[in-house]
Structure 1
Amino acid sequence: MTADDQGFGYETGGDDDLSIHRIATPGKQSGTIGPRPDHVVFWLADGRASLTADDGEQWQVGAGRPMMLSASVAYAFETDATATTLLHLSPSLLGDTGESSLFRQPDAGDPALEPLRALLREASGRILDPALPAADRAALNRRIATVVLSTFARSRADVADRMRRAIGFVHDHADRVLTVADVAAACDLSERGLQDLFRRRLGVTPMRYLREVRLDRVHLELGRPGSRALLVSEVARRWRFTHLGRFAAYYRERFGEQPHQTIARSGTPGER
């Protein structure tokens, strides 16, 4: 990249999912980076920057420190850097499908930043290369996204909110035909993002969690005192268990008894 007579220069390359932008400026700059479609990781080649998020949180950023600008957040900045690089990443590449994630910043000296620094040094030229084959670019994008997500954790409030929404959706719609895509859409995550969230937080897949919720609903119905005669097969099918043999095995694994034993304990006559 070369700068003009006033010290300004610009170079860019990439695709809709991931692009890199190199900017040269003559000296001190200030302004506001408003909410935008993409998440942005930036780093300075020289100088320093002061950054203030719209919630008042502030950072002092030195040269070489990657910082994440969450897409939905506005940032006021002041900088004396003359060379800045910005890596734009689409929300879908980072696992969002609707509402954008909020990311936390590691401390300046956190060793977790080094893998990202090393990858960016290695990959920047390839991102800028217009001749990079589409398949290679897609693979590189995924690799960079993986390292970015391991460097900048989603905020606890953001993760907790999405988890609550996913769990609430499963409980509210457990009697319906549901797919991973349905649950993911309900909490504004990609299917992969939802799978990762359930694995980290609950240690199960979304579909395993849905099955356990449905088993709990069947167990409540079969164990309800004073209810009329129940057919286990009808209750199971109402909660979307179409293979009764597998249902019985899942039920025994979760509750340590057969469905007819639950009915017997409740004093309710039903199918044996």
Structure 2
Amino acid sequence: MNFYGFKLNTRDFDSAEKIVEQVKRLVYDKAQKIYRELLSHEIQVLTDECVVGLHDNDKINCIYDAATELLQKKIAVAIAKGLDTEYNFNVVLNMFSYNKEIYIQIATYNFIYYKVLLDIKDMRDLSIHSVVEQEERDKRVKLWESIIDKYKDHSCFTVKVFPTNDPFIKPDFKDLIFDSPIQRAEVLARHRVMNQYLSLYAGGGTIQPEKLMEYYEQAFMKLDSPEGGELREQYKSDLLRFLPVIEEKIVMTKMTDEAPINKQLQNILEKKAGEEQSSL
């Protein structure tokens, strides 16, 4: 967990409480935005995986609901294990009184929350990482060491800023943002070729952790080669024949034989069958 420190421009605890409430609001709003972005990504990936046949659609009742469940699991694991990823929404605030001044420390895994708090005019940034001058950096290190040392035998005021009970608002479809079919086809083609090359360098076996970066660098060079580019373009062209624009009727509809995503798959199979027949 990373720590970001601020000095409040007040010595009054009532005023300090109002600043804390402002911190909560800003963090909450930013967390909702990040959640919408992550959910958009999950929906997009799941939709494309359904279309290309990587999922048994009979086991997916609704893409929106399934993507939400996948995201919630990632968030729960990240928080429970303290993972340093964008799925860890934990934000904790500690407040200290030191030399008649009030300081707060924000503990979080996500740098973006620190950035939004810089907009609060009643807080002065005293984070160690935000200065490059060694003299000023040493002064801040000494200050925070002194503050923490003062509270080593008793607790400071601590508040869980986020997440709290029912932390996320269910986004409306109109608030979600998806890439175009051509953008998604480019990404999927790149991933497919990269995975293909990784498998080649691994001899078709499992990649050991200590060999991952070696194989990755070799595969990346191959990916960027003329033959890698041709293969990507081939896969991209294939994907563009059937990747849909992600619409509400595809994402929100309950899965049945008549659901849009299943109709899309049926159209793909019929189109492929027709192409194969015409090539005979």
Q: What is the TM-score when the length of structure 2 is the normalising length?
A: 0.22
Higher-strand-fraction structure: 1
Q: What is the TM-score when the length of structure 1 is the normalising length?
A: 0.23
